[in-house]
Amino acid sequence: MSGKHPSMRTPLSRVRYLGSARSGTDHFWKQRVTSVALVPLTIIFVFIVIGLLGRNHAAAAQILGSPFVAITIMLFVIASAYHMWLGMQVIIEDYVHSDHKLTLIMCNTFFCFVIALACLYALVKLSFGV
Protein backbone atom coordinates (compact mmCIF):
# COMPACT_ATOMS: atom_id res chain seq x y z
CA MET A 1 0.00 0.00 0.00
CA SER A 2 1.22 3.42 -0.82
CA GLY A 3 -0.45 5.08 2.16
CA LYS A 4 -2.79 7.17 0.07
CA HIS A 5 -6.49 6.76 0.46
CA PRO A 6 -8.65 6.92 -2.64
CA SER A 7 -10.66 10.12 -2.78
CA MET A 8 -14.43 10.18 -3.20
CA ARG A 9 -14.25 13.66 -4.74
CA THR A 10 -14.68 14.34 -8.42
CA PRO A 11 -11.67 15.64 -10.35
CA LEU A 12 -13.30 19.06 -10.75
CA SER A 13 -14.02 19.18 -7.02
CA ARG A 14 -10.40 18.40 -6.19
CA VAL A 15 -9.24 21.22 -8.46
CA ARG A 16 -11.64 23.79 -6.99
CA TYR A 17 -11.49 22.52 -3.38
CA LEU A 18 -15.25 22.84 -3.15
CA GLY A 19 -17.96 20.46 -2.03
CA SER A 20 -20.83 19.37 -4.18
CA ALA A 21 -23.09 22.30 -3.33
CA ARG A 22 -20.33 24.87 -2.91
CA SER A 23 -22.43 27.24 -0.82
CA GLY A 24 -24.39 24.95 1.51
CA THR A 25 -22.20 25.49 4.55
CA ASP A 26 -22.10 29.24 4.02
CA HIS A 27 -25.90 29.33 3.74
CA PHE A 28 -26.23 27.17 6.86
CA TRP A 29 -23.98 29.44 8.93
CA LYS A 30 -25.68 32.64 7.74
CA GLN A 31 -29.02 31.21 8.83
CA ARG A 32 -27.63 30.22 12.24
CA VAL A 33 -25.90 33.57 12.79
CA THR A 34 -29.06 35.52 11.97
CA SER A 35 -31.12 33.29 14.27
CA VAL A 36 -28.70 33.88 17.15
CA ALA A 37 -28.68 37.63 16.44
CA LEU A 38 -32.48 37.67 16.40
CA VAL A 39 -32.79 36.29 19.95
CA PRO A 40 -31.72 39.50 21.78
CA LEU A 41 -33.12 41.74 19.04
CA THR A 42 -36.55 40.11 19.32
CA ILE A 43 -36.58 40.46 23.11
CA ILE A 44 -35.68 44.16 22.86
CA PHE A 45 -38.21 44.64 20.05
CA VAL A 46 -40.99 43.10 22.16
CA PHE A 47 -40.17 45.46 25.05
CA ILE A 48 -40.20 48.44 22.67
CA VAL A 49 -43.59 47.41 21.27
CA ILE A 50 -44.96 46.94 24.80
CA GLY A 51 -43.68 50.44 25.62
CA LEU A 52 -45.52 51.83 22.59
CA LEU A 53 -48.89 50.32 23.52
CA GLY A 54 -51.49 52.92 24.38
CA ARG A 55 -49.38 55.89 23.27
CA ASN A 56 -50.48 58.47 20.76
CA HIS A 57 -48.63 59.21 17.53
CA ALA A 58 -46.46 61.98 19.00
CA ALA A 59 -45.32 59.84 21.93
CA ALA A 60 -44.60 56.88 19.61
CA ALA A 61 -42.61 59.13 17.30
CA GLN A 62 -40.65 60.45 20.27
CA ILE A 63 -39.82 56.91 21.47
CA LEU A 64 -38.90 55.76 17.94
CA GLY A 65 -36.81 58.91 17.50
CA SER A 66 -34.38 57.67 20.12
CA PRO A 67 -31.18 56.51 18.39
CA PHE A 68 -30.98 53.29 20.42
CA VAL A 69 -34.58 52.34 19.65
CA ALA A 70 -34.37 53.25 15.96
CA ILE A 71 -31.10 51.40 15.41
CA THR A 72 -32.32 48.35 17.33
CA ILE A 73 -35.51 48.15 15.28
CA MET A 74 -33.56 48.65 12.05
CA LEU A 75 -31.22 45.79 12.98
CA PHE A 76 -34.24 43.66 13.88
CA VAL A 77 -35.92 44.35 10.53
CA ILE A 78 -32.76 43.69 8.50
CA ALA A 79 -31.89 40.48 10.37
CA SER A 80 -35.50 39.25 10.22
CA ALA A 81 -35.87 39.90 6.50
CA TYR A 82 -32.52 38.27 5.72
CA HIS A 83 -33.32 35.26 7.92
CA MET A 84 -36.75 34.97 6.27
CA TRP A 85 -35.17 35.14 2.81
CA LEU A 86 -32.64 32.42 3.65
CA GLY A 87 -35.24 30.15 5.24
CA MET A 88 -37.78 30.44 2.44
CA GLN A 89 -35.07 29.84 -0.14
CA VAL A 90 -34.15 26.56 1.56
CA ILE A 91 -37.81 25.53 1.74
CA ILE A 92 -38.34 26.31 -1.95
CA GLU A 93 -35.16 24.50 -3.01
CA ASP A 94 -35.92 21.42 -0.91
CA TYR A 95 -39.66 20.98 -1.28
CA VAL A 96 -40.74 22.53 -4.58
CA HIS A 97 -40.41 20.06 -7.42
CA SER A 98 -41.64 21.95 -10.45
CA ASP A 99 -40.42 24.13 -13.27
CA HIS A 100 -41.38 27.24 -11.31
CA LYS A 101 -38.62 26.91 -8.73
CA LEU A 102 -36.53 29.77 -10.14
CA THR A 103 -39.60 32.00 -10.35
CA LEU A 104 -40.47 31.27 -6.73
CA ILE A 105 -36.92 32.02 -5.58
CA MET A 106 -37.02 35.34 -7.43
CA CYS A 107 -40.43 36.16 -5.91
CA ASN A 108 -39.06 35.29 -2.47
CA THR A 109 -36.13 37.65 -2.96
CA PHE A 110 -38.39 40.45 -4.19
CA PHE A 111 -40.91 39.93 -1.36
CA CYS A 112 -38.27 39.96 1.40
CA PHE A 113 -36.60 43.04 -0.06
CA VAL A 114 -39.90 44.93 -0.34
CA ILE A 115 -40.93 44.00 3.22
CA ALA A 116 -37.58 45.16 4.63
CA LEU A 117 -37.65 48.36 2.60
CA ALA A 118 -41.22 49.18 3.64
CA CYS A 119 -40.44 48.60 7.33
CA LEU A 120 -37.28 50.69 7.20
CA TYR A 121 -39.07 53.49 5.35
CA ALA A 122 -41.88 53.52 7.94
CA LEU A 123 -39.38 53.57 10.79
CA VAL A 124 -37.35 56.41 9.28
CA LYS A 125 -40.50 58.38 8.54
CA LEU A 126 -41.78 57.92 12.13
CA SER A 127 -38.48 58.51 13.86
CA PHE A 128 -37.59 61.66 11.92
CA GLY A 129 -41.16 62.94 11.91
CA VAL A 130 -41.15 63.46 8.15
Q: What is the pLDDT of residue 80?
A: 98
Q: What is the pLDDT of residue 130?
A: 63
Rounded to 5°, the CA angle 107-108-109 comes to 90
Q: How many domains does the chain have?
A: 1
The answer to whether position 110 is within a domain reads: yes
The answer to whether position 6 is within a domain reads: no
Taking each helix axis from N to C terminus, what angle separates 67-95 and 101-128, rounded to the nearest 10 degrees? 170
The answer to whether position 7 is within a domain reads: no
Q: What is the pLDDT of residue 7?
A: 66
The answer to whether position 92 is within a domain reads: yes
DSSP class per residue in the chain: --SPPPP-S-HHHHHHT--SSSSHHHHHHHHHHHHHHHHHHHHHHHHHHHHHTT--HHHHHHHHTSHHHHHHHHHHHHHHHHHHHHHHHHHHHHH--STTHHHHHHHHHHHHHHHHHHHHHHHHHHHHT-
CATH code for position 66: 1.20.1300.10
pLDDT in tens, 100-130: 999 999 999 999 999 999 999 999 998 887 6
Q: What is the pLDDT of residue 108?
A: 97
pLDDT in tens, 38-85: 999 999 999 999 999 999 988 988 999 999 999 999 999 999 999 999
Q: Which domain holds residue 107?
A: 23-128
Taking each helix axis from N to C terminus, what angle separates 57-64 and 67-95, rounded to the nearest 10 degrees? 80
The answer to whether position 17 is within a domain reads: no
**What is the reported pTM?**
0.79
Q: What is the pLDDT of residue 9?
A: 67
> Contact at 8 Å (CB) between 79 and 30?
no
Taking 80 as the threshold, does the pLDDT of residue 16 lie above it? no
